[in-house]
Amino acid sequence: MAASAPTPHGTDSPAEGRCGYYVEKKKRFCRMVVAAGKRFCGEHAGAAEEENARKRILCPLDPKHTVYEDQLAKHLKKCNSREKPKPDFFIQDINAGLKDETEIPEQLVPISSLSEDQLENLIKKLRKASEGLNFTLEDQIMSHPALHDALNDPKNGDSATKHLKQQASILGNIEKLKLLGPRRCFVEFGAGKGKLSHWVDIALNDAEKVHFILVEKVTTRFKVDGKHRKKNSVFERLQIDIQHLCLSKIPLLSKEKLPVVGIGKHLCGVATDLALRCLVETYAASCEERNEEPLAKRIKNDKTEKEINTLAKEGNEKNVPEKWTPVAGIVIALCCHHRCDWRHYVGKEYFRALGLGAVEFHYFQRMSSWATCGMRKTSSEASNISTKREEKQNNDSEEHEGGGYRITDDNTESLPGFLTVEEKKKIGHLCKLLIDQGRIKYLQQKGFSPALQYYTDPLVSLENVLLTALPNHSSSPETTA
């Protein structure tokens, strides 16, 4: 490689103190700061004649960056991509589901390769399984005063306004469920930048003993949780896959013993199932086991219930649960059902009761994308729209933040010609509804009262369904664990 890539006629020189290497792909000079007396940054120094004696190689831990070959051993000890010690709350596959149920037959082919008869048979199974389901969800499009000023900011673009409307409605639904109050721990799954927790904190207005745990699989830039320095609010960010997260091992939760409220905005496919199992199976079950404690410890813990009763007498009863529960509620905006996975899916029992299994689930979750992408008419149009979606996701990733889960979609495949555009969209919505119904049944079996509702207008987001759940009073523990 030459010392610097050839630059087009008329190209400006690099900025003072910046790398002099011209990046052909980006049509500009590298913007990295260089060391005193150097012309090139460390990344491009290998291309410079003065650095020719030292060779740079790809980092074996992360090929996205390079390192001097003679400094590789030193670099591997401090590389940000090195494997770090696992925290106590990391338990391998604790929320993953059973391993012996992961196998999908090898004969599965893409939807575009199915014959017309095979696809018609799948659609018949789908419609039969969906008989009796309520296709019309209740509208719960709400708002909250905490976002009033932000929503009316004239500087907002279309994207910012769209996200604010969704956050305001989620916040309004949290308040309607009486989950927006003091002495709680809000766990935001697929937190991304942490904006949903940010608005919850603003709405709580310095309420007493409020904690936030933000769970995100990948490193995130421009986080907003680091800006919070309130006296009564504690923010803790965990970079971990939900699949391995054990909430009961988090020191903050084990020490404070606050009711947990699970929240999420556009929690993609498999991440939703992992989060549900993490909350109601892993965490709640462990708390209920600890709730079987000696009488002396129960008497000591009665203090918490007395404090709650005192708050209720002071007029705050609408924000205080009647009894302490490990999981006080769940409010999750659903997204990307085509990214679900049979092993992790919490509604397997529901599917089996309908005579369905891993094969049908595989095709239903693929066809669910027709609900939002079924308007494609030609493979050429499909390719164009797919490209636009990728650009949109790159520019506006918050819409689909889900802990880093990314699964290739069948959307670019040519769809069966015997179905009209409207039929494809209806089938896609039916697949989504059936998958969500399995989640509803799972939560009911675990002692919750779940519901599905529309929380925003489809013009704001096509992924506009909100899953909420409150514990049944009969299953609520009377004291803390």
pLDDT digits (tens, 9 = 90+) for 178-188: 999 999 999 99
For residue range 76-134, list pLDDT tens digits in order.
989 988 888 889 999 999 999 887 655 666 678 888 888 899 999 999 999 999 998 88
pLDDT tier for residue 409 given thresholds of 50, 70 and 90: very low
Buried b (16+ CB within 10 A) or exposed e, 65-74: ebbbeeeeee
The pLDDT score that the predictor gives to residue 290 is: 62
Domains and CATH numbers, the chain: 22-77 (no CATH), 111-288+325-374+418-471 (3.40.50.150)
How does pLDDT run across 331-364, given as a tens digit for each residue?
A: 999 999 999 999 999 999 999 999 999 999 999 9
Instruction: Quote the pLDDT of residue 291.
Output: 58
Say yes or no to pLDDT of 318 above 60. no
Task: Give the number of C-alpha atoms closer than 13 A to the C-alpha of residue 133, restricted to the C-beta side.
Answer: 23
Q: Taken in order 356, 359, 360, 366, is the CA torsion positive or negative?
A: positive
pLDDT of 162 higher than 90: yes
pLDDT confidence of residue 4: 47
Segment 324-328 mean pLDDT: 84
Termini Cα distance of the chain = 64
Instruction: Please report the pLDDT score of residue 206 as a whole number.
Output: 78
- Which segment of 33-42, 97-106, 157-166 scores lowest on mean pLDDT? 97-106
For residues 14 and 7, the model is more confident at 14
- Mean pLDDT estimate for the chain: 80
pLDDT bracket for residue 324 (50, 70, 90): low
Q: What is the pLDDT of residue 64?
A: 84
Instruction: List, for residues 205-242, the tens digit of each pLDDT value.
Output: 878 889 999 999 988 888 887 777 666 678 999 999 99
Question: From CA 161, how far away is CA 180, in angstroms rounded?
Answer: 23
Condensed to tens digits (0 to 9), the pLDDT of residues 253-292 reads 888 888 999 999 989 899 999 999 999 998 877 776 665 5
**What are the tens digits of pLDDT across the range 419-430?**
888 899 999 999
Spatial distance between the Cα atoms of 138 and 215, rounded to a whole number of angstroms: 29
Q: What is the pLDDT of residue 286?
A: 74
pLDDT average, residue stretch 70-81: 90
Asked if pLDDT for residue 316 goes beyond 90, the answer is: no
The answer, yes or no, to whether residue 300 has pLDDT greater than 50, is no
pLDDT over threshold 50, residue 407: no
How does pLDDT run across 424-453, given as a tens digit for each residue?
Answer: 999 999 999 999 999 999 999 999 999 999
